[in-house]
Amino acid sequence: MTSDNTLDDDDTFKILIATDIHLGYLEKDAIRGGDSYTTFDEILKCAKTNQVDLILLGGDLFHENKPTRRCLHTCITMLRKYCMGDSPIHFNILSDQTVNFNTTQFPWVNYQDENLNISIPVFSIHGNHDDPTGAEGLCALDLLSASGLVNHFGHSQSVEKIEISPILLQKGSSKLALYGLGSIPDERLYRMFVNNHVTMLRPKEDQDEWFNLFAIHQNRSKHGPTNYIPEQFLDEFLDLVVWGHEHECLIAPSRNEQQLFYVTQPGSSVATSLSPGEATKKHIGLLRVKGRKMNLQKIPLKTVRQFFIQDVVLSDYQDAFTVDTPNVIKKVENLCHAKVIELLEQAERERLGCPLTPEKPLIRLRVDYTGGFETFNTSRFSQKYVDRVANPKDLIHFLRCREKKEQIKDELNVDYSRVLKTTAVEGLRVEDLVKQYFEATEQKVQLSLLTEHGMGKAIQEFVDKDEKDAIEELITYQLEKTQRHLQGRSVITEQEIDAEIKLIRESKKNTTEEENEIKEAINRAKAHRLERGETALDVDMSDPPSDVDSEQDTAPARGRGRGRGARGRGRGRGAKASEPKSSARGASKKSPMTSQSRSIMQAFQAPSQRPSRSSAAIAYAADDLTIDDSDEDVPVMKARPSSKTTSSSSLRQSQSQTSKGVSFDDSDDEDDPFKGRAQRARR
């Protein structure tokens, strides 16, 4: 797709998209100190050359929370050079700007300030590097905002509840709703999403006429149970999500098949770590939006320093040397020299015809010396390349591979004693171990009806409190509830049943409904134990937890001494299962168990013949429902609402039933950037 003006009319938004510029990164380095400034200059120059309507930055404009005077001076100079001028602005803002820009004493967009002459407005959210701090909650972007150079938006002042109000833009007949959310600690934001404390407001009328663009700066890849933001948390009415913070350039829009929106990850414009994700080619995006269609053009950055990374596994070169070979260290060093020379030659070939590319590349060799090999002196090795590479001190990185965990191939003969075994050093709970097991196991062993959280809770009750019926009751309760749901939906075919079960399971993950179901199953198990005349090993735990987040559970940490008492709120939850409780806030002394404990595998077996525990229990034949453990994707069906014709720009909370009906174009068609694909299927 070309950038000719013939392709851009009065109804087309042209937006330059970039994230993670990290101005000031290694600014004291003699070789790499100016890399971030040079690339930012190229980005702004590209915006001016393409005559964009606005620039959208996805966070981390600055690398440091308190940029140096050189960094601020250079940034202000470039913004004034490229973003101020006499060129007219061709779009209007329809939303309440006092809500959109609520962190400044000048709550309006900078190009509408009569004292400023802005030709390209810059809209930016803050990242985790330049986030607001201090009692006033100010960041470096607020300095640029007060000076009229940047429009800082997406700053949430509440840590308990977030309402994201969009900036409503209109150019000709095209309407754009620009949402933004600055960086928030991932664990906190994850918890807020789970508790439904994040609300995205929408125009009250004409919702189908708005193109919804969202800029976010959070972990996209999973770094822990709650240390990321799943794409499924975001509202389904969105059309395109610009994801900052992740440095790997994945700028080609990828479709989320569950929420039916697209995600673009521009990545960083400067390599701040010598990792494989930084080695991908750096790009920025030129987004064109016309009506409900969009096209994203990739623009490669020419001033980015080249970066090459290669793994060298010494055990793979047994034909050349082994651990017992004489002078093996010298042979390994010669091998690394050859690899570095090879990468330098590759960098020189790729730099031909690109005079803007810095001369010295970044090179990293990751040498795996597992198997008894020894390391050599990296400082002496790097001295030969001081004048040829930009990172001579970080040229070689030695590492050893961890021992591979035994893969579980037979799901019928799983040694659960090994899976659930923990030590005092690990300090993990049973629930965490269950999650790790299902994350590491094969797809055919994955749960189809139950959730990992529910199964972990049931096993934790079995282990910690000897609730022998907890697992069985959870399975029975979930099975009965699912059967009633399927009968009410009148699903018949096996494919419909599989799809409906998967939707049920995904819809209740990390929700209050899931917690209530787990609690009900545990209460059933306790009631059955009392019917048998057995005594409880712990006090009543019917008090509801204050948070459904897995990190806030008040269960005791396994391996830290189970007799230490409760962790968090909960009365005597840490009592050892096999010992009587002493004095735990009114808890009476318990009698020893009269029945033998069963293994976990026995708890999974079919329920034994016993008296009915509830008159409301319904008996179902085993042939009524077949549960498939396959990981086949099931599309989400949505209903398309009728369009409205009014033009009010007032806002209301988003409804999950609203359909997008957006046509996208992500092809490389050079003739028509708005040659959209067919409308999304809706049923």
Cβ contacts of residue 62 below 8 Å, gap of 6+? 22, 23, 24, 71, 75, 129, 130, 140
Name the one residue in this structure whose structure tokens are 């990992």. 452
For residue 456, CA distances in Å to 266, 410, 435, 463 come to 37, 21, 7, 10
* 28 in Cβ contact with 75 (< 8 Å): no
Q: Report phi then psi at 142, rounded to 5.
A: -65, -30
What DSSP letter does each residue of 624-669 carry, written as one string? S----------PPP-PPPPP-------EEE--TT---------S--
Pairing of strands 250-255, 12-18: unpaired
Query: How many Cα neighbours within 13 Å face the side chain of 479?
Result: 18
In terms of Cβ atoms closer than 10 Å to its own Cβ (0-12, 13-18, 19+), residue 542 is: exposed
**For residue 472, which of 448, 455, 453, 451 has the smallest C-alpha distance?**
455
Structure token digits, residue 530: 């009392």
Pairing of strands 174-181, 167-171: antiparallel
Please state, in angstroms and rounded to a whole number, the distance separating the CA atoms of residues 519 and 513.
Answer: 10
Query: How many Cα neighbours within 13 Å face the side chain of 457?
Result: 26
Provide the strand spans (E) within 10-152. Answer: 12-18, 54-57, 92-93, 122-124, 151-152
| Dihedral of alpha carbons 415, 443, 221, 215, sign | negative
Query: What are the contacts of 584-589 at 24+ separation with CB within 8 A?
Result: 584/539, 587/539
Please state, in angstroms and rounded to a whole number, the distance separating the CA atoms of residues 520 and 528.
Answer: 12
**Which is the catalytic residue, given 22, 63, 126, 129?**
129
* 470 in Cβ contact with 454 (< 8 Å): no
3-class secondary structure for 440-488?
A: HCCHHHCCCCCCHHHHHHHHHHHHHHCCCCHHHHHHHHHHHHHHHHHHH
Neighbouring CB atoms inside 10 A of 192's CB total 20
* 194 in Cβ contact with 511 (< 8 Å): yes
Max CA pair span of the chain: 88
For residue 604, CA distances in Å to 55, 107, 117, 174, 464 come to 57, 61, 71, 58, 17
**For residue 318, which of 335, 295, 294 has the smallest C-alpha distance?**
335
Cβ contacts of residue 227 below 8 Å, gap of 6+? 186, 187, 190, 219
For residue 2, CA distances in Å to 287, 297, 299, 351 come to 12, 9, 11, 24
Q: 152 an active-site residue?
A: no
* 79 in Cβ contact with 144 (< 8 Å): yes
**For residue 65, which of 140, 149, 144, 135 has the smallest C-alpha distance?**
140
Helix 452-465 and helix 512-531, axial crossing angle in degrees, nearest 10: 30
Pairing of strands 12-18, 54-57: parallel
Please state, in angstroms and rounded to a whole number, the distance separating the CA atoms of residues 102 and 499.
Answer: 45
Question: Catalytic residue numbers?
Answer: 129
